[in-house]
Amino acid sequence: MPAKDKNNGINGSDRAPLSQRRFKMPEIRDEKDLGAKVKITIDDHDLEVPFGTTILEAARTLSIKIPTLCHHEDLCVAGVCRICVVEIEGQRTLQAACAYPVTGPLKISTYSPKVRKARRHNLDLMLKHHYGECYSCVRNNNCELQSLAKEYGVDFYRFGHDDKPHHEVDRSSYSVVRDMNKCILCRRCVRTCIDLQEVGVLEAVNRGPHTEIATFNDMPLGDVVCINCGQCINRCPVGALRAKDPSDEIWAAIDDPKKHVIIQTAPSPRAAIGECFGLPPGTSVTRQLNTALRRAGFDKVFDTNFTADLTIMEEATELLIRLKKALVDKDKTVKLPQFTSCSPGWVKFCEHFYPEFTDYLSSCKSPQQMFGALLKTWYAEKAKIDPKDIVTVALMPCSAKKYECNRPEMTSSGFKDVDYGLTSRELAQMIMETGLDLPNLPASDFDDPVGEASGAGLIFGATGGVMEAALRTAVEVVTGIKTEDIFKNLDITPVRGFEGVRYYEIPIPKTAAVPELLQKSLGVKTFDFLKGATLKVAVAHGTANARKVMENIKAGGKFAEAHFVEFMACPGGCLGGGGQPIPTSPEIREARAKAIYAEDAGLELRKSHENKHVVDLYKEFLKDGPCGHQSHHLLHTHYLKRGKRIV
* CATH label of the domain that carries residue 397: 3.40.50.1780
Does 275 fall in a domain? yes
Q: Confirm whether 574 is a catalytic residue.
A: yes
Per-residue CA distances from 77 to 46, 187, 453 (Å)? 25, 11, 43
> pLDDT tens across 303-333, in order?
999 999 999 999 999 999 999 999 999 999 9
Judgement on whether residues 424 and 551 belong to the same structural domain of the protein? no
Handedness of CA 483, 485, 491, 493 (dihedral sign): negative
DSSP 494: G
pLDDT band at 644 (very low <50, low <70, confident <90, very high): very low
What percentage of residues in the chain have a pLDDT greater than 90? 90
What is the residue range of 406's domain? 247-305+389-440
Letter for the amino acid at 212? E
- Say whether 112 sits in a helix, a strand or coil: coil
Answer for the pair 285, 273: CB distance below 8 angstroms, yes or no: yes
Candidate list 318, 468, 476, 599, residue with the active-site label? 318
Between CA 347 and CA 359 the distance in angstroms is 11
Candidate list 404, 426, 476, 566, residue with the active-site label? 404
pLDDT band at 33 (very low <50, low <70, confident <90, very high): low
> pLDDT tens across 172-198, in order?
999 999 999 999 999 999 999 999 999
Does 124 fall in a domain? no
Judgement on whether residues 533 and 557 belong to the same structural domain of the protein? yes
Judgement on whether residues 287 and 336 belong to the same structural domain of the protein? no
pLDDT band at 163 (very low <50, low <70, confident <90, very high): confident
Does 21 fall in a domain? no
pLDDT attached to residue 15: 40
DSSP tally for the chain: helices H, then strands E: 23, 19
User: Domain tally for the chain?
Assistant: 2
pLDDT attached to residue 6: 37
Q: Confirm whether 409 is a catalytic residue.
A: yes
Judgement on whether residues 413 and 558 belong to the same structural domain of the protein? no
Between CA 203 and CA 182 the distance in angstroms is 16
Judgement on whether residues 314 and 434 belong to the same structural domain of the protein? no
- SS in 3 state form for 246-309? CHHHHHHHHHCCCCEEEEEECHHHHCCHHHHHCCCCCCCCHHHHHHHHHHHCCCEEEECHHHHH
Among the residue ranges 34-43, 252-261, 346-355, 508-517, the one predicted with the least confidence is: 34-43
- Max CA distance (Å), the chain: 80
pLDDT band at 28 (very low <50, low <70, confident <90, very high): very low
> pLDDT tens across 574-587, in order?
999 999 999 999 99
Q: Confirm whether 73 is a catalytic residue.
A: no
Torsion angle of the four alpha carbons 229, 235, 241, 247, in this order, in degrees rounded to the nearest 10: 70
CB atoms within 10 A of CB 231: 28
Which residue would you say has higher pLDDT here, 545 or 4?
Answer: 545
Does 646 fall in a domain? no
Q: Is the pLDDT of residue 7 over 50?
A: no
Calculate mean pLDDT across residues 70-89: 96
* Length of the chain (residues): 647
Candidate list 182, 348, 365, 401, residue with the active-site label? 401
Q: Is the pLDDT of residue 639 over 60?
A: no
**For 156-241, where are the alpha helices, taking DSSP H only?**
188-191, 231-235
Q: Which residues pair with 39 in a beta bridge?
A: 48
Answer for the pair 114, 102: CB distance below 8 angstroms, yes or no: no
Does 26 fall in a domain? no
Between CA 485 and CA 508 the distance in angstroms is 14
Candidate list 574, 607, 608, 627, residue with the active-site label? 574
Q: Confirm whether 342 is a catalytic residue.
A: yes
Between CA 602 and CA 14 the distance in angstroms is 46
Answer for the pair 202, 190: CB distance below 8 angstroms, yes or no: yes
Judgement on whether residues 336 and 348 belong to the same structural domain of the protein? yes
CB atoms within 10 A of CB 635: 27
Does 278 fall in a domain? yes
Judgement on whether residues 300 and 327 belong to the same structural domain of the protein? no
CB atoms within 10 A of CB 532: 10
CATH code at 515?
Answer: 3.40.950.10
Among the residue ranges 51-55, 131-135, 346-350, 520-524, the one predicted with the least confidence is: 131-135
Between CA 407 and CA 403 the distance in angstroms is 7
> In terms of Cα–Cα distance, which of 169, 211, 161 is closest to 186?
211
- Say whether 646 sits in a helix, a strand or coil: coil
Q: Confirm whether 362 is a catalytic residue.
A: yes
Candidate list 268, 362, 399, 412, residue with the active-site label? 362
Between CA 532 and CA 379 the distance in angstroms is 42
Judgement on whether residues 586 and 533 belong to the same structural domain of the protein? yes
Does 140 fall in a domain? no
Name the pTM for this structure: 0.92
What is the rounded average pLDDT for all residues in the chain?
A: 92
pLDDT attached to residue 35: 66
pLDDT attached to residue 351: 95
Q: Confirm whether 70 is a catalytic residue.
A: no
Calculate mean pLDDT across residues 132-147: 94
Q: Which residues pair with 526 in a beta bridge?
A: 513
pLDDT attached to residue 390: 98
Among the residue ranges 31-40, 218-227, 535-544, the one predicted with the least confidence is: 31-40
Candidate list 137, 186, 236, 342, residue with the active-site label? 342
> pLDDT tens across 86-133, in order?
999 999 999 999 999 999 999 999 999 999 999 999 999 999 999 988
Judgement on whether residues 484 and 565 belong to the same structural domain of the protein? yes
Judgement on whether residues 298 and 330 belong to the same structural domain of the protein? no
Answer for the pair 490, 479: CB distance below 8 angstroms, yes or no: no
- Among the three residues 417, 440, 463, which one is the final residue of a domain in this structure? 440
Answer for the pair 266, 367: CB distance below 8 angstroms, yes or no: yes
Judgement on whether residues 460 and 425 belong to the same structural domain of the protein? no
Does 527 fall in a domain? yes
Judgement on whether residues 595 and 495 belong to the same structural domain of the protein? yes
pLDDT attached to residue 30: 54
